Structure 1
Amino acid sequence: MRRPLFASLLLPLWMLATPLFAAEDGHVALIKSVSGSVRIVRQATTLDAHAGDTLQVSDRLQAGPEATAAIVFIDGTLLTLGSGADIQLRDYVFEPRSSHYGFSLYLHKGAAIYSSGKIGKVAPESVKIETPTATIGVRGTRFLVQAQ
C-alpha cells in the first residue's frame, strides 16, 4: 500500500525534474499555456507560441492584445505574461553542480508576474529584471512588474 503511494508522489517530481536535461540542447524554459496570440522571436524567425514550445536564451516573447502565456524555467522559476507584454530573455544559467547561476530578462512593455525558482532562492543576486525605466534585483520572491 505504501509503495504505490510513494511511487505516485515521485512521478510528479520526476516530471518536474525532466526539463533539467533539456538545457544541454539550449532550451531553458517551457511554455505551459498560451491564450490568444503570442509570438516567439528567435534570431530572424518569428513563430507562433504554443503550449509545449521551448525557449532559448535571447528569445523574445510578444503577447498580443488579450493574450497571456505561462512559462516555467528549468529551475522552477515561473513567469506569466500579461496582454501586450514584450519580454526578452537576456541570460539564463542554471548549473547547480558548479554553483553557476544567472537570470536576466528585459520587459520592453506590458506586465508580467515573476515567481522565484531555485535561482532566486540559492543565488538571488544573479537575478535581474529590467524595464526601460528601472532594474529590479530579486531576493527570492513573487511580484508583478509593469513597463509602459
Structure 2
Amino acid sequence: MSAATRAPRTCSIDAGSVLEQSDGSASGIGGTGHNAAIPSSGIGGTGHENTIPPGGIGGTEHNVAVQSSGIGGTGHDTAIPPGGIGGTGHENSIPPGGIGGTGHEPGVPPGGIGGTGIVAAGTLMNVSGIITAEDYTKKQLQLAKGDQICPGDTIATNQDAKVKIQFADGAILHLLKNTEISLVDYNYSPQQPELNRSLIILAKGDIRSISGKMSKLNPQKYSFKTPSSTIRVIGTDFLVTHLLQQEGALDAGTYTKVISGEVSVQSTTSTIRLRAGESSHVMLNGTQSIITSGGGTCSVH
C-alpha cells in the first residue's frame, strides 16, 4: 500500500511499541511482555502490573527481589513522574518510565518509548516529493501528509523533496531537499515543563526551525546537533545547513543563520551567540567563525 492510500501512520501502531499481553498492558521497545512468572527486559522495558515495574534501556530481568536498572527514565513517587534518558534502578513501589516517558497515575503505566506506546512528537503538514522514515527497529516507510513522526525516527528527503513538520509544542521544522535528521529525543508536557526536552540531529542538508513553546519553557533542554556543532535555541526562527563536503564556494561544515531571536552555536573550540541577522560557520574540525555580525559574541572554550 502506498503512502498516499494507506491510513495515516501513528506512533503507537507503526512504531511497534505496544505488545498485547493477557492483562492488556503494554510492552516496550525490545520488550516481550510478561506475567507474574516471566518478567522481561529490553530497551524501554516492558508494560507492567502493579507489582512488576518496567525496566529501562540496558535493564535486566527482574522479579520481586531483583529490580531493573539502566537508561529509561528515573525512579519517581506520586509527585515526580519519570522521563528522560539516564534512569536509575527502582524499588517495588517506584516504577521508572521509558525514553520520553510522560509519567503516570496509579493504574496507568508511563508513556513514552517503552511505556504505554510512543507518544507522537509531531505531524507532517506539507509533503512534496519522497519523504522516508526509519524507526528505532530499522523499519523503513514512505511518509505522507498527516503521518506522525515518533521519537527514534530518522527522516530523509530526496533530491526533489521538502516537508513541513509541526511538533506537539507548536514548533515548525522545514526540511529541504537531500536532508536527513534524527529525532533522538522528544517529550512535551505543558503541565510539567521541567520534563520537556527535544534533541534533533541534522546529519546533512538544510532545515529551517521556528521554535514553539518548549524553547521558552525549558530552553536548556531544547537543542539541535550536527556532526560539528550543538545549537541551543531561545525562542527563534533560524536556518541550519550541514555540508558533508565542499560545494562550490561553500566549505564543508555547519552554517547557522538567525532570522529572529537568538541561538548559541557551540563547537569543540568555541561558543558563538548569534542574534537576528547574524550567521556563523563551523568547520568539520570544530573551528568556528562569524560570517555576518551585528553584535554576536564569541567565547573560546
TM-score under structure 1 normalisation? 0.81
SS of the counterpart of 2:191? helix
1:147 aligns with 2:257: no
Matched residues in 2 for 1:121 and 1:142: separation? 13
The CA deviation string for residues 49-89 of structure 1, in whole angstroms up to 9 with x for no partner, is 10000011010101000210100011001000010000000
Q: Which amino acid aligns with 1:69?
A: V
Matched residues in 2 for 1:81 and 1:108: separation? 12
Matched residues in 1 for 2:203 and 2:167: separation? 20
Aligned counterpart, 1:127: 222
1:70 aligns with 2:164: yes
Matched residues in 2 for 1:59 and 1:137: separation? 21
Aligned counterpart, 1:31: 124
Aligned counterpart, 1:102: 197
Deviation at 1:98, TM superposition (A): 2.0
Matched residues in 1 for 2:162 and 2:133: separation? 13
Deviates more, 1:52-61 or 1:36-45: 36-45
The CA deviation string for residues 109-139 of structure 1, in whole angstroms up to 9 with x for no partner, is 0000001000012211111100011110111
Task: Give 5+ residue unaligned stretches, structure 2.
Answer: 1-111, 244-301
- 1:12-31 matches, within 5 Å, as 25=117, 26-31=119-124
SS of the counterpart of 1:139? strand
1:55 aligns with 2:149: yes
The CA deviation string for residues 19-71 of structure 1, in whole angstroms up to 9 with x for no partner, is xxxx8742111011110111011122111110000011010101000210100
Q: Which amino acid aligns with 2:150?
A: Q
Matched residues in 1 for 2:237 and 2:129: separation? 24
Task: Give 5+ residue unaligned stretches, structure 1.
Answer: 1-22
RMSD between superposed Cα atoms in Å: 1.3
Identity of aligned residues (%): 29
Which structure shows the higher strand fraction?
1
Deviates more, 1:116-125 or 1:68-77: 116-125
Determine which structure has more spread, i.e. the larger CA radius of gyration.
2
Q: Of 210, 233, 250, which residue of structure 2 is paired with 1:115?
A: 210
SS of the counterpart of 2:184? strand
Matched residues in 2 for 1:108 and 1:86: separation? 6
Aligned counterpart, 1:80: 174
Deviates more, 1:50-59 or 1:94-103: 94-103
TM-score under structure 2 normalisation? 0.41
Q: Which amino acid aligns with 2:239?
A: L
1:40 aligns with 2:133: yes
Which structure shows the higher helix fraction?
1
The CA deviation string for residues 98-117 of structure 1, in whole angstroms up to 9 with x for no partner, is 22110100000000000100
SS of the counterpart of 1:33? strand
